[in-house]
Structure 1
Amino acid sequence: MSKFYTFSATTLMASLIGTLPITAAAAEKDSFMEALTGGKVSFSARARYESVKQDNDLKDADAFTVRSTLGYETGRLNGFGAFVEFENVTDLGGDNYNSTTNGETEYSVVADPDGTEVNQAYLSYQGFDTVAKFGRQQITYRDAPFHRYIGNVLWRQNHQTFDAFSIQNTSLPDTQLSYAFVNKINTIFGDDRDSDLIGTGVIKNGVIDVEAHLINAQYSGLPFGKLEGYGYLLEYEDAEVISSKTFGLRLSGAPAINDSWNLVYTAEYARQSDYKGGTMDAQNYYLAELGAKHKGWLAKLSYEVLEGDGTDSFKTPLGTNHAFQGWADQFLTTPDQGIKDIYLTVVGNVFWDAKLIVSYHDFKTDEDSLDAGNELDISLEKTFNQHYTVGVKYADYKADNEFPSLVDTEKFWVYGQVKF
């Protein structure tokens, strides 16, 4: 796909906004035509510069890309509605990076390939405390960006979506029950990525064929926190040997200590094993967090373990993994030796109410406790007038000779976004 075509598609998407009706909400309507034409338009555009420097033979990467989306949600008729969203990613700065599809393999990877696609397209029903969707959609069960197991990979320019049937019910007090059946994963790599095994399955035209059952239950009626239970069963049609099932339980909360202090904690355990032709030996996951909130600031110490025995390891192939084990993305796929990550995070608002995040990670492998390096992450982001966001972000990963498969990596981002 040419750069002229993708840039023109972005321009066309933006210009269409003026031709569609915009309302405050896609509300219930009295007739089919009212529902069809009385919906709401959504639009977003995110421009980003990303640089990557690594201590290896690859050239430094410099990528300037723009992600734009245009969506339309109909009004509802007897509870039924529809949504469609187009997505375009355009490279504006030249191919001085490996997008994973542009053939520039002498550069470090910035996984934001060009392309235009239907990001979401689904029919929906809302009624009786239930929301059901059928079609291409985003599926998440936790607040962004902490989609540990199931996510939209919202940090990358091309988001991950699922061809699925999903249903969510809130009939029981303080309870949310969710289920989804997924048969296709539309990856971040776009239509040009083909026949590649990257730890999740064979990608064909940017898609992974699966038969996946996603089950999630959350109860928020406890006085001290939220309880979550989940089961994720993933069967890969073209790579049965890596099919797996994961069951877990999580308890988290931020109960008040007094008028100005809150305790913050998380305790989570999960077990992953083979499923439907899979061959992995069972591995465990542990997360323990403890911290405090005070006057808009948060500080917490976290310890996360994804077990590995040198052959198999606990993996989260459908998660937004950029949010975990450091923003330099050195552990997007858990190494066979597993990973242990102890990290300190500080979050708060600084000048002009900008949000500051500072995090420091110390990594070791689960098997043999080899030193796997450390990382410093810093970001500063400001949203104003509800629709506009600007930010800068930096990640500095330092490798260690005890675990020699990784190299020193520096990443830097500057970005701006508008969203309506």
Structure 2
Amino acid sequence: MNRKVAIGLAVLAGSSQMANAQQVEFRPLVDARLRYERVDQQGLADEADALTMRIRSGAQASKGPWSVLVESEATLAIAEHYNSGTNGKTAYPLVVDPQNIELNRAQLRYAAHGITATAGRQLIELADQRFVGSSNFRQNQQTYDAARLQWGGAKGPFADISYAWADRTVNGIDGTGARQPAVGGNNVFALFGYAGKIGTLTGFAYLVDQDEAVVQGFRLSSQTYGLRLAGSVPLTPSVKLGYVASWARQSDYHRNPNDYAADYWLGEAILTVKGLTATGGYEILGADRGTALTSVQTPLSSLFKFQGWADKFTTTPPNGIRDLYGGAGYSWRKTGPLDAIALSATYHRFDSDRLGQHYGDEWDLLASVKRAHATFSARYARYRADSFATDTDKFWLELGWTL
């Protein structure tokens, strides 16, 4: 374990004698996921067929306001006909689910009187995970070696401050080169806001320090400051309108040799009518002057959630990106033996932020069913290129089970 993680755990453990004398409670942690992913990408002769199995297992022990959590993560490549980014199979399309076994989380937490303090290897998922998240769709989760302090409740003022000295990437323990298993740096994430009737207003600062020369020559280090408002209002007893608006300014930080500044914008509306949900939005990751990595970059984001499931824009192009999207979904509760059924479809039109380029279009489709602890889903992504990347089709079948 990283020496700083061990020191953080030891400091909090030394204070644990202050916990009141309550019985220790144990909770097992099990999360398993079997996934088949097929990728057909123009320009590559071979199609990717990835069959992987991921199991996270561990336990949490709690006593009063104190808890200790330890969790392992293991990913098995059952059928490895794909480029994991680390296995050298570059004739296949990329599926970033390498075979892996590692310590996923090891944390100590204190939670009482509106204060939560967490130290060690942990999940950090902030706001919509646009800038800092867990990349939970990938089989190997992204976690952080960090210390985090949270204050506040569901309503009223709140604060959330984290210092992370490493992010443990989705590349697993065998990551090499630009796909490091972990990227060190002095990362600071700070959110301050107020949760009220009209929604939650948050001011944020994300100081991302990708302090590894092999990771784009430090060019992914950035400082981002902005505001975000998210809330909802009932229109009728059965109709609700949700909304999200966000703006931020990003510029170079720490050892980044680039000198740039670019804006981020997001506007989204969500209309819910009983089981029907319709969503429309416009997201802009702005560009500065069209040089590589001088547009808004989000290397710690949960990237699969944004710009379509085909993953064509995990690195923002030099001319930025404008994503106009809309979709609809319907869900049913307690249908026969099933607890839930959900269907959804989303369309994206991708354009550049500068020079007026049309990058391409994408459709994303999802069907899922849930019963007790198990969830089965089928997904499909269809990207058609105009001036960026190549035509790509992706298909997933997935079975998950969580205790």
TM norm structure 1: 0.85
Q: Is the 8 A contact 1:264 1:300 kept in 2?
A: no
Map of 1:4 onto structure 2: none
Map of 1:267 onto structure 2: 245
In the alignment, is residue 62 of structure 1 matched against residue 67 of structure 2? no
The one-letter code matched in structure 1 to 2:364 is D
Shift of residue 29, structure 1, vs aligned partner: 6.9
SS at match of 1:133: strand
SS at match of 1:314: coil
The one-letter code matched in structure 1 to 2:83 is N
Map of 1:236 onto structure 2: 210
In the alignment, is residue 415 of structure 1 matched against residue 398 of structure 2? yes
Looking at structure 2, the residues matched to 64 and 347 of structure 1 have their Cα atoms a distance apart, in angstroms, of 28
Map of 1:30 onto structure 2: 21
Structure 1 counterpart of 2:108, from 120, 123, 136: 123
Q: Is the 8 A contact 2:191 2:202 kept in 1?
A: yes
Q: Which has the higher strand share?
A: 2
SS at match of 2:21: coil
Shift of residue 128, structure 1, vs aligned partner: 2.2
How many residue pairs match? The answer is: 372
Structure 2 counterpart of 1:105, from 80, 85, 90: 90
Looking at structure 2, the residues matched to 52 and 334 of structure 1 have their Cα atoms a distance apart, in angstroms, of 21
Structure 1 counterpart of 2:195, from 214, 220, 223: 220
Identity %: 34
Map of 1:258 onto structure 2: 236
RMSD: 1.7
Shift of residue 350, structure 1, vs aligned partner: 5.1
Shift of residue 332, structure 1, vs aligned partner: 0.9
How do residues 18-417 of structure 1 correspond to structure 2 at under 5 angstroms?
30=21, 34-35=23-24, 38-77=25-64, 79-93=65-79, 95-142=80-127, 146-170=128-152, 173-196=155-178, 203=180, 206-221=181-196, 223-239=197-213, 240-278=218-256, 279-308=258-287, 309-311=289-291, 312-349=294-331, 352=335, 353-385=340-372, 387-400=373-386, 403=387, 405-417=388-400
Looking at structure 2, the residues matched to 172 and 345 of structure 1 have their Cα atoms a distance apart, in angstroms, of 29
Gaps of 5+ in 2: 1-18
Q: Is the 8 A contact 1:231 1:248 kept in 2?
A: yes
Q: Deviations 1:139-175 (Å, cap 9, x if unpaired)?
A: 0123xxx411111100000000000001111169523
The one-letter code matched in structure 2 to 1:408 is D
Shift of residue 59, structure 1, vs aligned partner: 1.0
Shift of residue 84, structure 1, vs aligned partner: 0.3
| Cα separation, partners in 2 of 1:358 and 1:29, compared to 1, 3 Å | farther
Q: Is the 8 A contact 1:242 1:280 kept in 2?
A: no
The one-letter code matched in structure 2 to 1:384 is R
| Cα separation, partners in 2 of 1:58 and 1:214, compared to 1, 3 Å | farther
The one-letter code matched in structure 2 to 1:70 is S
SS at match of 1:139: coil
The one-letter code matched in structure 1 to 2:119 is F
Shift of residue 69, structure 1, vs aligned partner: 0.8
Runs of 4+ in 1 over 6 A off after TM superposition: none
Gaps of 5+ in 1: 1-27
Shift of residue 71, structure 1, vs aligned partner: 1.4
Q: Is the 8 A contact 1:100 1:189 kept in 2?
A: yes
Q: Deviations 1:390-418 (Å, cap 9, x if unpaired)?
A: 10000000001xx2x40000000000111
Looking at structure 1, the residues matched to 327 and 344 of structure 2 have their Cα atoms a distance apart, in angstroms, of 7
Shift of residue 229, structure 1, vs aligned partner: 1.6
Shift of residue 89, structure 1, vs aligned partner: 0.2
